């Protein structure tokens, strides 16, 4: 018979696991629970697994507790350890027969949880044991398909070229849109193409004013072509090249647009979306002057050795690459914060940079990334160009320790404050004038 204590335990496990997925700020709560001695009995396995307590887990398993014991929400010890980044426990549980694809009440497997919190080591371990993520990248959701007769590719105007293929301006049902063609060397590989389509299926679900809107994939074509909204002003790279250095208010507004788009990606559920290739070329501007981030997630697919993907040379990804990515270490969301800092640095330094000034533009991007990764070198921050608060922000964002970098949520708050101060100053100077 279930005792009141059992019920309490279940409710607490529910609240703890729910919090652990959606809040991740539950350690104090767990401590309170532990103090109340409510974790005696079989649920202690779940508690020890979530806390990374290997001895505790071994003790419970030694007592004969089922490795696949699940709580009220069908969350197992493997779910909790994967969610909390307890690699050793994940390995131990798998050795002891934990079901890698146990599905909880919300349809999440341990891999869904590990991906949500970017525990990449754990993702690899789970994947090597056959783990799948039915909620996310492994979902069967298909891309919205657009009949190719609705788009006349013969009337297309070439507007750009990237690592994957060319970009054309085309008309789809009377509206100007961008058509991105993927090189046949990439698209002819079935695995790569399937992965690409999965990423596109994920992209099509996203809706945010600072994210380029995905529209669909053209069907019945021998090439892989997809449509996105068309942003008339082109990329931030082109804008900086034409306009040079921006005034402080515009620079902060640009930084905020990028940070808001990135924050949306990083807070995406069930798993965060890491851009991995955030550069001024992947930030586009519409006619209203709003910046939008594009091409997130796609880079990861084509970086496999067998695909032959090369980062776009002089202006490409090395220039904005976080040290841990260059060193091929495991990495998380904060790699995008690092790239963001380098973009904001350029936005502020615009005209000096494009006149071949101190921004290292002439330097080989790979060497630059090497120096950042191994010599901790960072761009120069002259006080005349960078006001103290921006200097501090950049230094925090390109901190060598990824854990010390702020989140985009924090960056937004910080930039909004700077924006308020700048607006007041601008307003006061108007009055004086
Ligand atoms: N939706 C769009 N609207 C308007 N212009 C675009 C759009 N998408 C891309 N472009 C233009 O095409 C250029 C190339 O874009 P693309 O995303 O293919 O390459 P990239 O960002 O330079 O490199 P990579 O393929 O490595 O991301 C951009 O810099 C931009 O000028």
Under a CB-based contact definition with an 8 Å cutoff, are residues 177 and 227 in contact?
yes
pLDDT recorded at residue 139:
61
Nearest CA to ligand 1 atom 4: 231
d(Cα 114, Cα 332) in Å, to the nearest integer? 12
Sign of CA dihedral 167, 169, 171, 172: positive
Catalytic residue among 71, 118, 133, 277: 277
Under a CB-based contact definition with an 8 Å cutoff, are residues 284 and 239 in contact?
no
Question: Which numbered atom of ligand 1 lies nearest the CA of 166?
Answer: 18
**CB of 178 shorter than 6 A to ligand 1:** yes
Under a CB-based contact definition with an 8 Å cutoff, are residues 212 and 264 in contact?
no
**CB of 297 shorter than 6 A to ligand 1:** no
pLDDT recorded at residue 335:
93
pLDDT recorded at residue 246:
79
Q: How far is the CA of 167 from the centre of ligand 1 (A)?
A: 6
Sign of CA dihedral 278, 279, 281, 286: positive
Say how many C-beta atoms besides its own lie within 10 A of residue 72's C-beta: 14
Under a CB-based contact definition with an 8 Å cutoff, are residues 354 and 244 in contact?
yes
Nearest CA to ligand 1 atom 15: 162
Q: Of the candidates 91, 230, 207, 89, which has an alpha carbon nearest to the alpha carbon of residue 156?
A: 230
What domains are there in the chain, each with its CATH number? 4-33+234-432 (1.10.510.10), 43-140 (1.25.40.20), 145-229 (3.30.200.20)
Question: Which ipTM was obtained for this model?
Answer: 0.95
**For tokens 């890698």, what's the residue?**
100
- Both tokens of 372, joined, read 């950042």
**CB of 252 shorter than 6 A to ligand 1:** no
Q: How far is the CA of 271 from the centre of ligand 1 (A)?
A: 25
Question: Which numbered atom of ligand 1 lies nearest the CA of 162?
Answer: 19
d(Cα 366, Cα 315) in Å, to the nearest integer? 11
Question: Which numbered atom of ligand 1 lies nearest the CA of 164?
Answer: 25
Q: How far apart are the first and last CA of the chain?
A: 81
Under a CB-based contact definition with an 8 Å cutoff, are residues 21 and 116 in contact?
yes
- Both tokens of 42, joined, read 């079989």
Mean pLDDT by 10 residues, the chain (433 residues): 36 38 39 50 88 94 93 89 94 95 86 84 92 71 81 89 88 93 79 77 90 90 87 92 81 95 90 87 95 76 35 57 89 93 82 42 85 94 86 96 97 95 72 41
pLDDT recorded at residue 330:
81
Q: How far is the CA of 235 from the centre of ligand 1 (A)?
A: 7
Contacts of 417 (CB under 8 A, 6+ apart): none
**CB of 215 shorter than 6 A to ligand 1:** no
Sign of CA dihedral 319, 347, 261, 165: negative
Under a CB-based contact definition with an 8 Å cutoff, are residues 312 and 163 in contact?
yes
d(Cα 354, Cα 123) in Å, to the nearest integer? 41
Alpha-carbon dihedral angle through residues 323, 328, 329, 333, given to the nearest 10 degrees: 60
User: What secondary structure, in 3-state letters, does 93-160 show?
Assistant: HHHCCCCCCCCCCCCCCHHHHHHHCCCHHHHHHHHHCCCCCCCCCCCCCCCCEEEHHHECHHHCEEEE
**CB of 183 shorter than 6 A to ligand 1:** no
Nearest CA to ligand 1 atom 19: 162
Question: Which numbered atom of ligand 1 lies nearest the CA of 316?
Answer: 26
**For tokens 């970009």, what's the residue?**
167
What are φ and ψ of residue 226, in 5° steps? Answer: -130, 155
- 211 three-state secondary structure: strand
Please indicate if the annotation marks 243 as binding a ligand. Answer: no
**CB of 213 shorter than 6 A to ligand 1:** no
* Helix residue spans in 244-387 (DSSP H): 248-266, 298-301, 323-326, 334-354, 365-374
Q: Which residue(s) pair with 218 in the sheet?
A: 146
Indicate if 40 belongs to the active site: no
């Amino acid at each position: 018979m279930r005792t009141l204590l059992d019920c309490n335990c279940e409710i607490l496990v529910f609240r703890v696991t729910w919090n652990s997925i959606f809040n991740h700020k539950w350690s104090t709560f767990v401590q309170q629970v532990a103090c109340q001695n409510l974790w005696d009995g079989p649920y202690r396995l779940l508690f020890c697994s979530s806390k990374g307590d290997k001895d505790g887990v071994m003790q419970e398993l030694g007592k004969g507790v089922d490795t696949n014991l699940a709580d009220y929400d069908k969350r197992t010890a493997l779910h909790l350890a994967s969610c909390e980044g307890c690699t050793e426990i994940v390995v131990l549980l798998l050795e002891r027969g934990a079901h890698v694809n146990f599905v909880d009440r919300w349809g999440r497997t341990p891999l869904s949880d590990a991906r949500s919190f970017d525990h990449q080591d754990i993702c690899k371990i789970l994947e090597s044991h056959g783990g799948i993520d039915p909620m996310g990248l492994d979902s069967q959701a298909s891309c919205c398909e657009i009949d190719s007769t609705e788009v006349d590719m013969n009337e297309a105007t070439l507007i750009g070229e990237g690592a994957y293929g060319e970009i054309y301006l085309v008309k789809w049902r009377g509206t100007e849109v961008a058509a991105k063609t993927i090189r046949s060397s990439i698209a002819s590989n079935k695995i790569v193409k399937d992965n690409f389509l999965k990423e596109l299926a994920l992209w099509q679900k996203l809706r945010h004013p600072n994210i380029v809107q995905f529209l669909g994939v053209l069907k019945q074509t021998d090439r892989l072509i997809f449509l996105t909204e068309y942003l008339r002003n082109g990329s931030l790279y082109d804008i900086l090249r034409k306009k040079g250095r921006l005034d402080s208010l515009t620079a902060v507004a640009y930084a905020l647009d990028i940070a808001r788009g990135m924050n949306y990606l990083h807070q995406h559920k069930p798993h965060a979306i890491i851009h991995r290739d955030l550069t001024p070329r992947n930030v586009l501007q519409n006619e209203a002057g709003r910046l939008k981030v594009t091409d997130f997630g796609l880079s990861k697919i084509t970086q496999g050795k067998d695909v032959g993907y090369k980062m776009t040379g002089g202006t490409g990804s090395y220039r904005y690459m976080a040290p841990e990515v260059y060193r091929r270490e495991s990495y998380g969301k904060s790699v995008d914060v690092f790239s963001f800092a380098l973009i904001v640095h350029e936005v502020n330094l615009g005209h000096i940079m494009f006149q071949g000034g101190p921004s290292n533009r002439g330097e080989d991007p790979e060497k630059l990334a090497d120096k950042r990764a191994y010599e901790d070198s960072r761009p120069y921050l002259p006080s005349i160009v960078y006001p103290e608060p921006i200097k501090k922000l950049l230094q925090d964002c390109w901190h060598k320790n990824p854990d010390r970098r702020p989140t985009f949520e924090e960056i937004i708050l910080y930039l909004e404050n700077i924006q308020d101060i700048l607006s007041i100053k601008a307003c006061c100077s108007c009055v004086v004038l």
